Amino acid sequence: MPPPPIILIHRGDSFYLAHAIAQARSSNPDSRLILLGDSSNSFYLGVEHYRYEDYFDRAQEFAKLFTFEFFPSYQYPWILFCHQKYFALLDFIRTFGIERFLLIDSDVMIYERITPYFEHYAAYQMTLSQASAAYSAQAAFAVVNDASVISDLCRIYDELFRASPETLETRFGTRYFTEMLGLALLMKEPLARVKNTYGEDDKFVVCHNLIEDDRFVKNGEYSRIFWQGTIPMFCRLNTESFVKSPIIHFHGHAKRQMGRNLKLNGYKERLQHALNKTMSAAAKYPMRAANMIAGRSIFPGL
């Protein structure tokens, strides 16, 4: 049986996207690597590219619920997309009959083969990471064993934003609603089998945030990475013992560290990565110019 596919969803062509693709391709050469993207990132080698706009009907309907008043700042279009991407994902996996997959953020780098983690979490529909905030969880490294859980998540988003901002503010104590709220509510569903990967495990940890994780020895503001070959290791503060992580989540400005932490296995992977970076640099400025000339976002996220 082939390993489950790895899926990234990304809007625009960020400088770090080539790194995430290269590391996933190198560590999992037998896995399908799928980028659900747009016209600005359609040229990458080593990945199957599909346009999320082709699976956006439900996402457009959701946009009628999640209006500007739910997130009144310049970040609104991005936060809206962070919700909409799950509706696009749902229609995509239904179209192609994908039942099991690994969903990663595009600022995550994978360093191990993923199949053993599906076996490790076989009793769960999905994995998420929740550190301490009661109403915030993330899907940076989400092992999905039952695709129906994505339908449950989209239902939660639909039900959540049928309420007024005032009602939600009273319930959650904030008026700034990111997609992480819905993920946290999914973890609390009575029938959901969602595993929190932030907890301790004897054999490994999941590095959910290279900056904001106080479990490990630091190197400045970042958790210090100790390499065992191509596998990242972290030193626990409480026991001073070393533990591996299958991934590193380079959240926030830690994205600048992604290129320095590539562990590509062969010449082919290095060449492909170099070509992807070159094509991205060559295409970015013409695409930005086209946006300016057209006066609209022909190539989004640039």
The count of domains in the chain is 1
In the chain, the percentage of residues whose pLDDT exceeds 70 is 93
Q: What are phi and psi of 194, to 5 degrees?
A: -115, 125
Q: How many CA atoms lie within 13 A of 153 on its CB side?
A: 33
300 assigned to some structural domain: no
Is 79's pLDDT higher than 80?
yes
In the chain, the percentage of residues whose pLDDT exceeds 90 is 78
User: Tens digits of per-residue pLDDT, 160-192?
Assistant: 999 999 999 999 988 889 999 999 999 998 888
Q: State the pLDDT at residue 17.
A: 97
CB of 248 within 8 A of CB of 234?
Answer: no
User: Tens digits of per-residue pLDDT, 1-10?
Assistant: 889 999 999 9
Is 302's pLDDT higher than 50?
no
157 assigned to some structural domain: yes
State the pTM of this model.
0.92
Residues 6+ apart with CB under 8 A from 257: 210, 222, 250
Q: State the pLDDT at residue 149.
A: 97
299 assigned to some structural domain: no
Q: State the pLDDT at residue 145.
A: 97
249 assigned to some structural domain: yes
Give the domain extent around 151. 6-294
E strands within the chain? 6-9, 33-37, 48-51, 101-104, 108-110, 126-128, 141-144, 194-196, 218-219, 222-223, 226-228, 231-235, 242-244, 247-249
Stretch among 112-121, 129-138, 147-156 having the lowest mean pLDDT: 129-138
301 assigned to some structural domain: no
29 assigned to some structural domain: yes
Q: State the pLDDT at residue 266.
A: 86
Is 90's pLDDT higher than 90?
yes
* CATH number assigned to the domain comprising residue 82: 3.90.550
51 assigned to some structural domain: yes
155 assigned to some structural domain: yes
